Amino acid sequence: MRVIIVGAGKVGFALARHITREGYDLVVIDRKPEKVDAITDAFDCNGYVGNGCCTELLRKCGIDSTSVFVAVTKSDETNILCCSAAKKLGVKRTIAAVRGPEYEKEMSFLTDKLGVDLLINPDRAAAEVGIKMLRYAETVEREMFGNGAVHLSTVEICGNGVLAGVKLPSVQKVLDAKILICAVDRGGRVFTPSGQDEIKAGDKIVFAASEADMEKTLNKLRITERRLKKAVIVGASNVGYYMTGILLRRGIRVTVIDSDEVRCRQMLNCFPKADIVNGDGTDSELMEKELKGADACVAATSRDEENLVISMFAKSFGTSRIAAVINNADYETMLKKSGVNHVFSTQDVALVDIIKDMRQLANGTYETDGAMKWLYTLNSGSIEAAEFEVGTDFKLQGILFRDESFKLKSGILIAVIMRGGSVEIAGGNSKILPGDHVIVVSAEHRILSLADIVG
């Protein structure tokens, strides 16, 4: 399956990494030769320098045999126009990055009239991830399936934690909660644990549970959610804009700091209930003043270096919850070593919807039996969790999990079965029936459809 990406910036580069890993035939277009060279040097793909809206160039790139066309330049208008041209030239699926808040109410028009099949907003997606991170002071990834009935979390095990040194068969007894540990990251090695594995201090574990058992487990691990009352956001970027709106709608007081007077006026017009401060987020006196009484600080400027400095200052000031927009992996490592655990990027968080869309197209499973309903990535993308609906042709239906004939590929685990209104954490006596929804966790494979998990 051929994929064309227009835009070789941060999002385009990250997307190229995922697409080449999936094994698709990739072509990248950008106006800047150095950006095209950077991607073609890093990945097995073809690159062209030019305007992605130009039909002559698109034909040269093989648009007539292209299945998916993705436009992720910095210009919303360019992305929309490129997708419209690609659709006119016969591409099956067009995807555009549209970041501007002014397009929020125009989504249906863009999809119905201008030939854009899927709209993604990397900045809004990043803002939503940042908001999730602020729920806890500790490093916790938490996603929901089945309209909130099933929760999947990633947590790091402390040396004095209740699970350090505990073998898997004893976990539920120690926690007094029904959970299933799906994957373990031990020093960068990710694996699906067996019954005799022991949890060690420093492990990152991915586990599934019902909402009630998830809360019980997090409490046992001394990870508690505290309600935010006041947040300081440094940077009136698009990410800062979206985060401000979300927090204000939840009744949380927000202070926004930005050095650009025009952006400050725009933020004040959009959010009159927010405190907007025209100032430098790296000014220690200003930051000390604004951070007093704040539960959280978000560094959301357009520069990684500024966000690094702001985050480390907030940490030294004693702010309990700190999140930073960082696109440089080296900076991310530096921040985490300094104790700033909540780091997110615009380049990665919006990619999951694109990858899910491509897999469905490649496998012909749009809204069919065995279709992927949801896809999440955890632990910096090394672990995938997907929700599937079980079709009538699934080979393992009706077979008990403990039966010898029930075989899955290595590194794959069925964590949860949802049947009607009930939720079952999978075990040896579980079985899958047509119409069930199942949560599949994989530490080794990229899954296109439910049939791919059968060993």
Provide CATH code, domain 228-349.
Answer: 3.40.50.720
Determine the pLDDT at residue 226: 78
Determine the pLDDT at residue 165: 92
Determine the pLDDT at residue 94: 95
Order of strands across the sheet that contains 150-156: 140-145, 150-156, 204-210, 179-186, 189-191
Rounded Cα–Cα distance for residues 35 and 17 (Å): 14
Rounded Cα–Cα distance for residues 204 and 380 (Å): 12
Question: What region, left, alpha or beta, does residue 30 occupy, with left being phi > 0 and alpha being psi -120 to 50 degrees?
Answer: beta
Q: How does pLDDT run across 173-192, given as a tens digit for each residue?
A: 999 999 999 999 998 888 88
Fold of domain 352-453: Alpha-Beta Plaits (3.30.70)
> Which residues of the chain register pLDDT less than 50?
none
Determine the pLDDT at residue 417: 93
Determine the pLDDT at residue 239: 94
Determine the pLDDT at residue 363: 62
Order of strands across the sheet that contains 2-6: 46-49, 25-30, 2-6, 66-71, 93-97, 118-120
pTM for this prediction: 0.82
Q: Are 232 and 257 in contact (CB under 8 A)?
A: yes
Superfamily for 140-220?
Regulator of K+ conductance, C-terminal domain (3.30.70.1450)
Intrachain domains 140-220 and 352-453 with the same fold: yes
Q: Are 179 and 207 in contact (CB under 8 A)?
A: yes
Order of strands across the sheet that contains 372-378: 372-378, 383-389, 437-442, 412-419, 422-425
Q: Are 385 and 412 in contact (CB under 8 A)?
A: no
Nearest to 323 by CA among 315, 94, 404, 347: 315
Q: Are 29 and 5 in contact (CB under 8 A)?
A: yes
Structure tokens at 231: 């947040």
Structure tokens at 355: 């990858």
Task: Give the type of residue at 149.
Answer: A
Rounded Cα–Cα distance for residues 230 and 273 (Å): 13
Determine the pLDDT at residue 84: 94
Order of strands across the sheet that contains 342-344: 275-278, 253-258, 230-234, 296-299, 321-325, 342-344
Q: How does pLDDT run across 348-366, given as a tens digit for each residue?
A: 777 877 887 787 777 655 5
Radius of gyration of the chain (CA): 23
Nearest to 163 by CA among 151, 171, 152, 155: 171
Domain ranges (residues) in the chain: 2-120, 140-220, 228-349, 352-453
Provide CATH code, domain 2-120.
Answer: 3.40.50.720
Task: Give the type of residue at 56.
Answer: E
Determine the pLDDT at residue 370: 58
Nearest to 31 by CA among 83, 82, 66: 82
Task: Give the type of residue at 101.
Answer: P
Rounded Cα–Cα distance for residues 26 and 40 (Å): 10
Determine the pLDDT at residue 364: 59
Nearest to 68 by CA among 125, 15, 123: 15
Run of H or E including 285:
helix 284-291
The string of DSSP letters for 309-362 reads HHHHHHHHHT-SEEEEE---HHHHHHHHHTT--EEE-HHHHTHHHHHHHHHHHH
Determine the pLDDT at residue 366: 52
